[in-house]
A and B are shown apart, each in its own frame.
Chain A
Amino acid sequence: MKRLWALVAVLFGFGLLAAACGGGDDTTATDDTEPASTATEEAADDADDSGDSAEADEEPAEDSGDNGEATGDFAGTIRIGAALSETGKFSVEGKDSRQGYDAWATWVNDVYGGINVNGERYAAEIVYYDDESDADTAANLIQRLIDEDEVDFLLGPYSSGITTGASAIAEANNVIMVEGNGTSDTMFERGFQNLFLVATVASDYTKSGIESLAAKGATTAFVAYEDTSFPTAVANGAIKHLEDNGIEVLGVETYPKDIQDVSAIMTKARDLQPDIFVGGGHYNDAVLFVNSAKELGFDPDGMLITVGPSNPKLVEELGDDVDGVLGPTQWEATMAYEGEWFGSAADYAAYYESLFGEPPVYQAASATASALALHLAIEEAGAVDTDTVRDALRGLNVDTFYGPIGFDEAGVNRSKPMGTIQVQGGEINVVSPDAAAVSGLEYPISGG
């Protein structure tokens, strides 16, 4: 019996160890009493004494201990909370989002010299938790960030489904959440005052791509999407844009989360022989669509897939099979955007790569841009209280590496158009809108 208990204890310890290391380099399990990690721990080398930030509702927290070593003294710390998917279905996008936030935190503390609040420089600290790709967990963690970690502001999680619940908690507690990776339109139809989105809303994801395909002569389409919040918003927008551009929708199919087989959907699509296939889901669905189309001999003239094609990893994994596939992108390093902070899109990409050893995907850039928008609003407000910063966010109108940022009354950045990429010979090239395009749209795709 003793041996059994000893074994259980060893296993429990191993489990804790595995969970503690689960974030790759710096994540702890959700149930730990301490946050998963904080960006300043990694980025600004203990720039603050976080224990003193409890009273930070109106003024940034004052430091009582040693101040930033890398960039000189900070007057205090601004604590920002984020629940991100380190594990579960969105772990890839969650990691990219986190790296995006970390890129900003590192930059603002090490390069920029801290957030300038009325002439005083404050370190930025991001407190992270792992939401395990689960909306309920994220909502609980947001409450925890507000109540226990007493963060001043929040940055968004990944995915619309998770952001929907998380932002409701933020709104109920009157805490501002700026985000770039939850783009479902319905979130911004709730009349929330504290939710701001730097990215293009989901319903416009496919707009420029569909316009380009229509201009090339596409007349029929088939749409398939995962029936969760974000893909539904994208697909509904796509159907509207298809109709607006005179493209007949031959069929619409939905499928559940965690789908393992899309053969039937692709069989239907193949039999209807549409010019273009529009698939809306998440990263894994892109793999299934491409594989299944190949298995069933389905060769549409154009294939537009919501998430995946703009991610270099998908191109790396699927190789030639993904050639010609189109995908929307919030941002690419090749786009001609430039700003006072981070420089151009290419400059940002180079900085990001120097930190993480890989080029940024758009989810990462969106995350950085969210944090940057919050940062600029705090500087504009000269305070950290919710009302003043909210007003500053609403008045924000800046050009950045990510594109123009300017929020409407609903909190949506309507200034930035959505881009469309196409995988061309293993390269991810922006093909639309024309202003950002580096290559022409190939249509019909070879074999189509």
Chain B
Amino acid sequence: MSTFSQALINGIALGGMYLILVLGFSIIWGVMGVINLAHGEFVMVGAYLAWVANEWLGSDPFLVVLPVFFILAAFGFVLQRILVNRVIDRPHLVSLLVMFGVSIILQNAMKLIFSADFRRNDTVLDGAWSLSERVSIPVTKFMVLLVALAVLVALHQFLQRTRTGKSIRAAAQNREAARIVGIDINKVYAITFALCLGMTGVAGALISPILSVQPFQGPPLTLKAFAITAMSGLGSVKGALGGAMVLGIIEAMLALYVDKIGTNLAVVASFVILVAALVLRPQGLFGGLRPVDATAS
């Protein structure tokens, strides 16, 4: 029983990390139809910002999430205006390639600035809370989960209750109809991109005490975000939560209960679920703002 409890705690903690990691990616894909291949690199930039704050000012990564959010959001707003907006009406491959280019630029730019050395951020929120001799809660990951849930609730409220949020959802559902009723699509997209990059930066700050920070950490994170989003539904806040938690718990259970190759199986699991979901339920396990099928946008 203690093993199961620990696996569940590990899974929920991992799910929390996936949740904050996937939110920005999911909304950008769902609303704008852009597969942000530079997602992992924006996570990395957020992680570096938190690391710099820690090195220079001694700030804990959990204390800098708001500044990191605004810096990345401003960057996202500008990037959307000067770059993404220009290719958004083109075939999906164009935006895919553009974001891929951005990812390469960011990797090398960050390497120039910070070198390729691995960094690790310190937080006072580390260690473990022991529930029993064989069950403990990892403090850092638990705090990441709390922040991720707070961001999730705030995002949900923003999308459901504010005029801008409703505009974002409208733009996701039918771009032309949204234009016809007077919604400034470019502005909506810029806000969406800014918001999502802000959240992605927060993800970077939060995972900086968990994973090593280095310029080339992005691609595996992008891949994970892609798998969770396509599996659970594009642009769906609830879907992101469900997908992240389902995957986190399945991975943790497989890793703990399967001997020798459990952790390997856990990594494969996300892609098995992804393939199954795409074939059997292309709108995502939890339903999204749009189907994965690009031609339907």
Interface segment out of the listed A44-52, A248-256, A385-393: A248-256
A258's nearest neighbour on chain B, judged by CB, is: B220
Complex CA gap A166/B86 in Å reads 42
Known: A19-B108, A256-B264, A295-B141. A267 touches B10 (CB 8 A): yes
A214 CB-CB contact with B under 8 Å = no
Please, which residues of chain B bring their CB within 8 A of the CB of A191?
Answer: none
Q: 8 Å CB contacts to B: which residues of A126-175?
A: 133
Q: Is the CB of A92 within 8 A of B136?
A: no
Q: Which residue of B lies closest to A19 (CB)?
A: B108
* Distance to closest chain B CB from A281 (angstroms): 11
Say whether A267 contacts B7, CB under 8 Å: yes
| Contact A254 B263, beta carbon cutoff 8 Å | yes
Q: How far is the CA of A4 from the CA of B82 in the complex (A)?
A: 10
Cα distance, A88 to B13, chains bound together (Å): 28
B214: chain A residues at CB < 8 Å are 91-92, 284
Annotate B134-153 by CB proximity to A: 1 below 8 A, 0 otherwise: 10101111000000000000
With A264-B255, A271-B134: A87-B126 Cβ-Cβ less than 8 Å:
no
Contact of B263 among A95, A253, A317 (CB under 8 A): A253
Q: How many residues of B contact A (CB 8 A)?
A: 58
A253 contacts B127, CB within 8 Å? no
Say yes or no: B128 contacts A295, CB within 8 Å: yes
Asked, given contacts A4-B86, A227-B264, A296-B128, whether A264 binds B112 with beta carbons under 8 Å apart, the answer is no
Of B113-121, B198-206, B237-245, B281-289, which stretch is located at the interface?
A: B113-121
B263 with A262: CB separation less than 8 A: yes
Pairwise interchain contact A255-B263, C-beta atoms closer than 8 A: yes
Cβ of B66 under 8 Å from chain A: no
Q: With contacts defined as CB atoms under 8 Å apart, how many contacts are there between chain A and chain B in the complex?
A: 148
Q: Mark B98-117, 1 if CB is under 8 A from A, else 0.
A: 10010011011101100111
Q: How many angstroms from the CA of A438 to the CA of B113 in the assembled complex?
A: 37
Q: Does A14 contact B (CB under 8 A)?
A: yes
Residues from chain A with a CB closer than 8 A to the CB of B255 are 263-265
> Is A215 an interface residue, CB under 8 A from the partner?
no
What residues of chain A lie closer than 8 Å to B162, measured between beta carbons?
A: none
Residue of B nearest to A259 (CB): B263
CA distance A6 to B243 in the complex (A): 41
- A11 CB contacts on chain B under 8 angstroms: 83, 98, 101, 105
How far is B101's CA from A283's CA once the two chains are assembled, in angstroms?
27
Chain B residues near A15 (CB-CB < 8 A): 101, 104-105
Which of B13, B82, B260 interacts with A253 by CB under 8 Å? Answer: B260
Q: Give CA–CA (A319, B141) in the complex, Å.
A: 20
Query: Which A-B residue pairs are the 4 nearest by beta carbons?
Result: A264-B255, A295-B138, A91-B116, A18-B108
CA distance A280 to B290 in the complex (A): 43
Chain A residue contacts of B215, Cβ below 8 A? 87, 91
Does residue B267 face the partner (Cβ distance < 8 Å to A)?
A: yes
B112, A14: Cβ atoms under 8 Å?
no
Residues of A within 8 A of B260 (CB): 252-254
- Does A24 count as interface, using CB distance less than 8 angstroms? yes
Min C-beta distance of B262 to chain A, whole Å: 6
Give the residue of B130, B224, B263 whose beta carbon is less than 8 angstroms from that of A264.
B263
Contact of A92 among B118, B211, B221, B261 (CB under 8 A): B118
Residues of B within 8 A of A (CB): 3, 6-7, 10, 13-14, 17, 82-83, 86, 98, 101, 104-105, 107-109, 111-112, 115-120, 122, 126-128, 130, 134, 136, 138-141, 209-212, 214-216, 220-221, 224, 251-252, 255-256, 259-264, 266-267
Chain B neighbourhood of A89, CB < 8 A: 216
A267 in contact with B263 (CB, 8 Å): no
Please state if A7 and B86 are interface contacts (CB–CB under 8 Å): yes
Inter-subunit contact A87/B138 (CB<8 Å): no
Q: Are A18 and B109 in contact (CB under 8 A)?
A: yes
**Which A residues are within 8 Å of any B CB, using their own CB?**
4, 7, 11-12, 14-15, 18-19, 21-22, 24, 86-89, 91-92, 94-95, 133, 227, 251-256, 258-265, 267-268, 270-271, 283-284, 287-288, 291-292, 294-297, 313-314, 317-319
Find the B residue at minimum CB distance from A224. Answer: B263
In the complex, are the beta carbons of B108 and A21 less than 8 A apart?
A: yes
Residues in A whose Cβ lies below 8 Å from that of B116:
24, 86-87, 91-92, 94-95
Evaluate contact between A91 and B111: CB separation under 8 angstroms.
yes
The complex places the Cα of A87 from the Cα of B210 at a distance, in Å, of 22
Give the chain A neighbours of B104 by CB distance below 8 A: 15, 18-19
Chain B residues with CB under 8 A of A24: 111-112, 115-116
Q: For residue A130, give the distance in angstroms from its CB to the closest CB of chain B.
A: 11
| Chain B residues, Cβ within 8 Å of A91 | 111, 116, 214-216
Q: Which of B10, B13, B120 has the most CB of A within 10 A?
A: B120
| Residue contacts A-B, CB under 8 angstroms, 5 given | A19-B108, A87-B108, A264-B266, A267-B256, A270-B134
Chain A residues with CB below 8 A from B115, complex form: 24, 95
In the bound complex, CA of A158 to CA of B169 (Å): 49
Closest to B112 in A: A21
Which residue on chain B has the smallest CB distance to residue A95? Answer: B116
Asked whether A287 and B212 contact (CB < 8 A) given A15-B101, A258-B220, the answer is yes
B-chain residues with CB within 8 Å of residue A87 when the two chains form the complex: 107-108, 111, 116, 215-216
Instruction: Give the residue among A14, A86, A260, A264 with the most B Cβ atoms within 10 A.
Output: A264
Can you name the residue of chain B whose Cβ is closest to the Cβ of A86? B116
A12 to B115, CA, bound (A): 22
> In the bound complex, what is the Cα–Cα distance between A253 and B256 (angstroms)?
10
Given A87-B108, A87-B111, A92-B117, A254:B252 Cβ within 8 A: no
**Closest beta carbon of chain A to B210's beta carbon, Å:** 7
* Chain A positions within 8 Å of B262 at CB level: 253, 264
Q: Which residues of A contact B251 (CB under 8 A)?
A: 261, 264
A86 to B111, CA, bound (A): 10
Residue in A21, A260, A287, A317 with the greatest tally of chain B CB atoms within 10 Å:
A260
Contacts of A288 in B (CB 8 A): 211-212
Bound Cα distance from A295 to B126, whole angstroms: 7
Contacts of B109 in A (CB 8 A): 18
* Chain B positions within 8 Å of A251 at CB level: 259
14 new A-B contacts, CB < 8 A, other than A21-B112, A253-B262, A294-B127, are A15-B101, A87-B107, A87-B111, A91-B116, A254-B264, A260-B220, A264-B263, A294-B128, A295-B126, A295-B138, A295-B139, A296-B6, A296-B138, A313-B118
> In angstroms, how far is the closest chain B Cβ from the Cβ of A223?
10
B116, B117, B215: most-surrounded residue (chain A CB, <10 A):
B116
Residues of B with C-beta under 8 A to A319 = 122
